[in-house]
Amino acid sequence: MNDIVNDDAGLKHIQKMYKGLTYFDQYGGSIILFVIITIIVILICAYCFVMIHASEIRADWQNNKCKPLVMPFAGLVNAPSGTSMFDYTADNFNQCLYNIQTTIAGEALEPITFVTNALASVIKAIENQLNSIRAMFGKIRTFFKTISQEIMGRIMNVMIPLQKIIISLKDFLSKAQGVMTTGMFTAMGSYYALQALMGAIAEFIILILIAMAIVIAALWAVPLTWGAAGAMTAVFLAISVPMAIIVTFMADVLKVKPGVSIPKIKCFDKNTKLMLKNKSLVKIKDIRIGDILLNDSVVTSVIKVTSKESIMYKLNEVLVSDSHIVFFKDKWIKVAQHPNAIKLPYYDEKYLYCLNTTDKNIIINDTIFADWDDLYGDGLTTFLSKNKLKSGNEIHTQLDCGFAPNTKVRLDNGEYKNMNEIDVGDVLENNIVVYGVVKMDGTNLQEFTIILEGSEIQMGSNTAFHFNGKREMTKVHKEFYHLLTNSTFFYLRNHKFDDYNSCIDSTLEY
């Protein structure tokens, strides 16, 4: 009885052992053996097939060498003499694999190759068209060059006799001056008539030259019109040189000056009151450099100019010249264009006053005016950006320029005055008239000392950079002075210096 029980337990144990087995667990060895035997049989069959047909395969080896049945036995069928059977089989396999990949890759890349060839054809066509266009422009340039040379040649042929005529005319006028001086009292009426005529002619020709300069600048801006620009430049020079002689003659001899000699004055009446930060009201003629205005703007320069030829207006109880710039309804306009501006029928004050400030604004009676430099709105933003300046204050510290108070200036009568003693209306050497004087803050300006004709001259900031001689950096003066002249320049020790407006005008790029 115990044996039966033990047999049942053993049977259950055996059943439990085989219960979780898969088919592969039970017959895996047989399957592997079957697979191996099958592969061996296939290889033997393939070998037999290949060896039976070896001569046929060898006869058409190029077409048969890459067949699946032949590739494993390539070394047995057609191995060259001196080559290992296994090496040749491996080489044959690699060659067949390379040929198959080449064929497949070529077919796969055919669309890309087609697109690439099409793009190459298009680019070649564009290249041919561009070359044709370049050839056309070359012909156009040659054409304009020929025309320009012809025009310049004809102009020069005309101008040489004209220059001789002008020289003769100058000599004639010089002689006529002596005759007119002798008979001055009897020919005064004719003399004044000649003054008016010559002044009108000079002004007319200057306006023509200005118009030509604008046209020439526009032509130079377009490469296709450079030929025409060159021709017009030659005409401009041919006219302007004799005109300069005539204007110089009229200024020195006839005391006639064209009507475009002095720029428009943009200033205030001397009694105009400004409120300072400390709430005090100060007349503009009494404003000092360094004063802080109500809007925290600091006065950097005080300018005094002649009121001659200025048309005055009354705007919000402020007496101001017609061309001064004022902010009105989100834009900047001239005072004369302001709807509330009232033109004064008569104004007899000799001088007007203006300021330069750190924020480039002057606020009077809640009205915003531009300062002397006329930098405002988008123009101010562009100016600061192009000159790499951060604020209006840096316009003063980086671009303002002036001279030490004791700088000697020669007058037309041969006398000398200190720069701070020059007044509006003074006539400097070479008959240059001062129409404005400028006093500026020199605290934050660089100061240089240069030697002219054996004398030292101290000057501030970028004034020195107009001078090519030796200069030495110094720091002595807290105030600098400058001039405004009808010629836009003046002379110190026989050296030419631009007037105060050049400090900004020389850096304007828009």
* Burial of 502 (C-beta count, 10 Å sphere; 0-12/13-18/19+): middle
Under the phi-then-psi rule, with left for phi > 0, alpha for psi from -120 to 50, and beta for the rest, what region is 327? beta
Residue 280 and residue 341 share a domain? yes
Is position 75 within any domain?
no
Q: Given 360, 376, 396, which residue is the final one in a domain?
A: 396
Residue 299 and residue 387 share a domain? yes
Residue 406 and residue 392 share a domain? no
Q: CA 504, 507, 510 angle in degrees (round to 5)?
A: 105
CATH number of the domain within which 288 lies: 2.170.16
**Into how many domains does the chain fold?**
4
> Which residue is listed with tokens 């494993």?
72
> Which residue is listed with tokens 């044709």?
132
CATH number of the domain within which 454 lies: 2.170.16.10
Residue 44: what pLDDT?
Answer: 77
- Domain range enclosing 203: 187-254
Is position 15 within any domain?
yes
Q: Give the span between the Cα atoms of 482 and 302, in whole angstroms.
A: 10
Residue 354 and residue 303 share a domain? yes
Q: Given 369, 396, 423, which residue is the final one in a domain?
A: 396
The three-state secondary structure class of 124 is: helix
Q: Give the span between the Cα atoms of 484 and 505, in whole angstroms.
A: 13
The pair of three-digit structure tokens given for residue 282, joined into one six-digit string:
């100060």
> Which residue is listed with tokens 């100058």?
170
Residue 404 and residue 389 share a domain? no
Residue 471 and residue 415 share a domain? yes
Residue 452 and residue 478 share a domain? yes
Amino acid at position 119, single letter: L
For the chain, how are helix, strand and coil distributed in percent, rounded to 5?
A: 55, 20, 25
Residues 310, 352: contact at Cβ < 8 Å? yes
Is position 229 within any domain?
yes
Residue 444: what pLDDT?
Answer: 83
Residue 410 and residue 465 share a domain? yes
Residues 396, 358: contact at Cβ < 8 Å? yes
Q: Give the span between the Cα atoms of 427 and 485, in whole angstroms.
A: 9
Residue 290 and residue 247 share a domain? no
Residue 306: what pLDDT?
Answer: 93
Is position 106 within any domain?
no
Q: Give the span between the Cα atoms of 160 and 156, in whole angstroms.
A: 6
Phi, psi of 493 (to 5 degrees): 55, 45
Q: What is the full DSSP assignment across 215-247?
A: HHHHHHTSGGGHHHHHHHHHHHHHHHHHHHHHH
Is position 80 within any domain?
no
Residue 390 and residue 435 share a domain? no
Name 275's bridge partners: 281
Under the phi-then-psi rule, with left for phi > 0, alpha for psi from -120 to 50, and beta for the rest, what region is 448? beta
Is position 232 within any domain?
yes
Is position 485 within any domain?
yes
Residue 472 and residue 382 share a domain? no
The pair of three-digit structure tokens given for residue 207, joined into one six-digit string:
């306006």
Residue 116: what pLDDT?
Answer: 85
Residue 476 and residue 391 share a domain? no
Is position 315 within any domain?
yes
Q: Give the span between the Cα atoms of 103 and 107, in whole angstroms.
A: 6
Residue 193: what pLDDT?
Answer: 66
Q: Given 352, 379, 396, which residue is the final one in a domain?
A: 396
Q: Give the span between the Cα atoms of 16 and 19, in whole angstroms.
A: 5
| Tally of helices (H runs) and strands (E runs) in the chain | 11, 22
Amino acid at position 207, single letter: L
Alpha-carbon torsion (127, 131, 133, 137), positive or negative: positive
Full pLDDT tens readout for the chain, 510 residues: 455 445 677 777 777 766 666 777 667 777 788 788 887 877 777 777 767 666 777 777 777 778 776 777 776 667 777 777 777 778 888 888 777 777 777 677 778 878 888 888 889 889 888 998 989 988 999 998 999 888 888 888 888 888 888 888 888 888 887 777 776 666 666 665 666 677 667 777 777 877 777 778 777 777 777 777 777 778 777 777 777 777 666 655 555 555 444 556 778 999 999 999 999 999 999 999 999 998 899 999 999 999 988 899 999 999 999 999 999 999 999 999 999 999 999 999 999 999 999 999 999 999 999 999 888 988 888 888 888 888 888 888 888 888 989 899 999 998 999 999 999 999 999 889 999 999 999 888 877 777 766 666 766 665 544 455 555 566 668 899 999 998 888 988 888 888 898 888 777 644
